[in-house]
Structure 1
């Protein structure tokens, strides 16, 4: 059972799926070569590979409207709102050291890829968007399920707490955006800080909703994408197009979108539709939240994932939502029924492999299956799975997942007697692990879990 516990822990940490939709918007054998040794310096991503948006403009227009005129709760927004340029950003509170570079990088991308006039606020200047870093325990007392969140009309966590309950932080009451605060954790990994900066800054500027049907966006609470995608940048560029303005109604925006998208994304003209563009019913979303909740029991998570799959089948979905239901079920079955978990993950993978823009999701399944293969002594298979996933994950800039794949690769090579390759992969993994997991204790815990899987595979 200890090996199942290690697999379950690895799955929980690396599934890429931590529900936060309630927010306002083991065999622990230490790796001998590292026991007591200092870890490598932290690595981070310094360049971003821009991918073309490979979808039709009619679909993108549909997505834009559902993102722009609804909240995650399902409530409708009466009018279109955005900031007026220039947009300024400030950080306050217990700002993590890594946040400065990551904020500069995402703002540079917003300027170059989305065409948004955004810059750091000057000293003494009231910022359009203020990012207030607070201890996680403090945040959770206010919003228990939120990893990070954004609220309007305030510039700090203290202002938000004072304004709660008086209606002023209700996005539906806005006719334009003047101030917003992003509340982010100060005591978490650099990757989680960066992920919060990307998603919450994008929502402060633009769409407030998330859609589970989107395959290629951070505006999706399945959280497989951790940095803003080309689709997201196109949506934000359209959001700040001169043809739109504050206070416009949904019909007015819908009437202007086709011309905007034809100009911004000419390759999307005339492309076929994706298929089902309905919004997921609330019952399925509630099942997602329960299936991914760290506060649920193992049995409750599995029952919720089974509800997800039942609803997805009843809806007739053949898209990301059906695959995600299978993935959530596999995640819940790890540590309880490994055969069933493998079948569920493979069912998810089979769907994602035939869908466009799903390589990141396939890579997440590859990580799960590579860990299973490692624990079962199928070391060559584990290597093949990591071979396929690693390039995808590098492009997606997911350091935690990249580090884990490299750790698995190191252990598989070591088990096959390939010492040089094992040492190289392990060394590469450590710098990414520092960025992805944060503390040395977390890094060593992941190393220990994966070393334990390999030990089980060699003994089996």
Structure 2
């Protein structure tokens, strides 16, 4: 069994290798460094978003829950959106990668969601959406838990600071969207900047809620999806359908949704009533404690175990059940490695059985590949990775892609296949520069993964 051969330091390395979507476990880490040359940064080009698999009846239920409720559970009294063309401008010291990623996003919103959105001409007095670049430290001093966020009725950071405790920035009081600000850090990795652009601009335009039960959406706090999916674009297209308008009640919107969805998504015209599966607040609180930054490691682990128990009591076999197990697998790496491996294996089975959760399955495969590599099973490591690489490329997750390719390169090294190892490592490092950013971080990640290989562990110990 893989867990029998698990080295004591693997938990520390895996925590460091996880993508920025999830907090690392608070444990000391011995960091190695990669000392070779770094290739040019790789970037994604043509988007490959897959269409959603759900019926229009289910999509209508999803739309209502996303659009008439905040993440806190607070109800929204009316539907709101921009009426007319939407313009977008950037303020502040934008990183070099932002222009290309924002241009691609705007193009997708125009072609896939059919929204009349474009970059504002220079000198535009009041663009519809202002993307303001703020240093990460300053942003989190005001909103500690947020990597980035979106606010109504302001156009600058200074305006937000003055209005942040007032009704001005209350989404529930909004009848029509006219001026929205997106605040994001510029001193983070290119992927984190892009991810913020996708999620926050999508919320500036449309739904304000996040639902853990959605398997294929950025409107989900599990953060597996980092760019707008086919489901997300369909929700936004419905949001800006001519049959809807700002100020409508939930009942009015619900009455018009079937015709809208039947027209824009004919593939979803199949039987079955739409229904939503309630997510208990106790499960959400347990997940937020497990993956949040405040609790001690033991409390996080206990919270993950509670989440798994709640999901089993609910009878779930969906992505929430798998996510509970994934969280437990990550948080039990150091203290209970056998439980960790069992949790990852069960999460993998659940995710792989659903065509809408293949990127989630890839995250679990990364953890299992690290177990496999650490136990010297090079063929198994490569098999696990090759199976999920297409899904990772479709999802445009460079951080995960680079980690998987670095693991694959180490497996090739273990097999004595140096030319293949060198080629895969070069590609991995190119993606790592986009996914992780600073050269020092890229080198540290590569060094940590290299330390998983049994021969290298033996030489260090």
- Measured against the shorter chain, the TM-score band is over 0.9
1:14 maps to which of 10, 14, 19: 19
Supply the distance in 2 between the matched residues of 1:298 and 1:122 (Cα, whole angstroms).
50
- Is 1:375–1:457's contact at 8 Å kept on the other side of the alignment? no
Supply the distance in 2 between the matched residues of 1:305 and 1:408 (Cα, whole angstroms).
27
Is 1:136 matched with 2:136? yes
> 2:87 aligns to what SS in structure 1?
strand
- Is 2:330–2:340's contact at 8 Å kept on the other side of the alignment? yes
Query: In 2 relative to 1, CA 325–457 (structure 1 residues): closer, same or farther, beyond 3 Å?
Result: farther
After TM superposition, give the deviation of residue 291 of structure 1 in Å: 0.8
Partner of 1:94: 93
Partner of 2:306: 307
Partner of 1:23: none
- Is 1:211–1:279's contact at 8 Å kept on the other side of the alignment? no
Structure 2 residue ranges without an equivalent (≥5): 1-7
> 1:151 aligns to what SS in structure 2?
strand
Partner of 2:409: 410
After TM superposition, give the deviation of residue 47 of structure 1 in Å: 0.7
After TM superposition, give the deviation of residue 8 of structure 1 in Å: 2.5
Partner of 1:372: 371
Supply the distance in 2 between the matched residues of 1:148 and 1:68 (Cα, whole angstroms).
20
Partner of 2:283: 284
Supply the distance in 2 between the matched residues of 1:177 and 1:382 (Cα, whole angstroms).
49
> 2:72 aligns to what SS in structure 1?
coil
Partner of 2:210: 210
- Is 2:359–2:395's contact at 8 Å kept on the other side of the alignment? yes
> 1:181 aligns to what SS in structure 2?
strand
Partner of 2:326: 327
- Is 1:7–1:335's contact at 8 Å kept on the other side of the alignment? no
Partner of 2:246: 246
Partner of 2:237: 237
Partner of 1:38: 37
Supply the distance in 1 between the matched residues of 2:377 and 2:457 (Cα, whole angstroms).
9
Number of matched pairs: 447
Partner of 1:195: 195
- Is 1:90–1:129's contact at 8 Å kept on the other side of the alignment? yes
Structure 1 residue ranges without an equivalent (≥5): 20-25
Partner of 1:170: 170
- Is 1:88–1:118's contact at 8 Å kept on the other side of the alignment? yes
> 2:241 aligns to what SS in structure 1?
coil
TM-superposition CA deviations, 1:332-360 (whole Å, max 9, x none):
11222222111001111111122230111
Supply the distance in 1 between the matched residues of 2:227 and 2:115 (Cα, whole angstroms).
17
Supply the distance in 1 between the matched residues of 2:144 and 2:20 (Cα, whole angstroms).
21
Supply the distance in 1 between the matched residues of 2:455 and 2:143 (Cα, whole angstroms).
41
Length-normalised TM-score, structure 2: 0.94
- Is 2:49–2:395's contact at 8 Å kept on the other side of the alignment? no
Partner of 2:4: none
Supply the distance in 2 between the matched residues of 1:456 and 1:337 (Cα, whole angstroms).
24
After TM superposition, give the deviation of residue 372 of structure 1 in Å: 1.1
- Is 2:189–2:437's contact at 8 Å kept on the other side of the alignment? yes
- Is 1:133–1:185's contact at 8 Å kept on the other side of the alignment? yes
Partner of 1:22: none
Partner of 2:12: 5
Supply the distance in 1 between the matched residues of 2:418 and 2:455 (Cα, whole angstroms).
19
Supply the distance in 2 between the matched residues of 1:46 and 1:298 (Cα, whole angstroms).
39
Partner of 1:387: 386
- Is 1:15–1:364's contact at 8 Å kept on the other side of the alignment? no
Is 1:160 matched with 2:160? yes
Query: In 2 relative to 1, CA 323–452 (structure 1 residues): closer, same or farther, beyond 3 Å?
Result: same
> 1:119 aligns to what SS in structure 2?
strand
Please give the root-mean-square deviation of Cα atoms over the aligned residues, in Å: 1.7
- Is 2:102–2:197's contact at 8 Å kept on the other side of the alignment? yes
Query: In 2 relative to 1, CA 29–123 (structure 1 residues): closer, same or farther, beyond 3 Å?
Result: closer
Query: In 2 relative to 1, CA 199–102 (structure 1 residues): closer, same or farther, beyond 3 Å?
Result: same
Is 1:224 matched with 2:192? no
Partner of 1:421: 420
Supply the distance in 1 between the matched residues of 2:373 and 2:244 (Cα, whole angstroms).
53
Partner of 2:71: 72
TM-superposition CA deviations, 1:180-238 (whole Å, max 9, x none):
11110111000000000000000000000001110111100101111000110000000
Partner of 2:3: none
Supply the distance in 2 between the matched residues of 1:18 and 1:231 (Cα, whole angstroms).
26
Query: In 2 relative to 1, CA 17–458 (structure 1 residues): closer, same or farther, beyond 3 Å?
Result: closer
After TM superposition, give the deviation of residue 27 of structure 1 in Å: 5.7
Partner of 2:5: none
Supply the distance in 1 between the matched residues of 2:331 and 2:189 (Cα, whole angstroms).
24
Query: In 2 relative to 1, CA 15–180 (structure 1 residues): closer, same or farther, beyond 3 Å?
Result: closer
Length-normalised TM-score, structure 1: 0.94
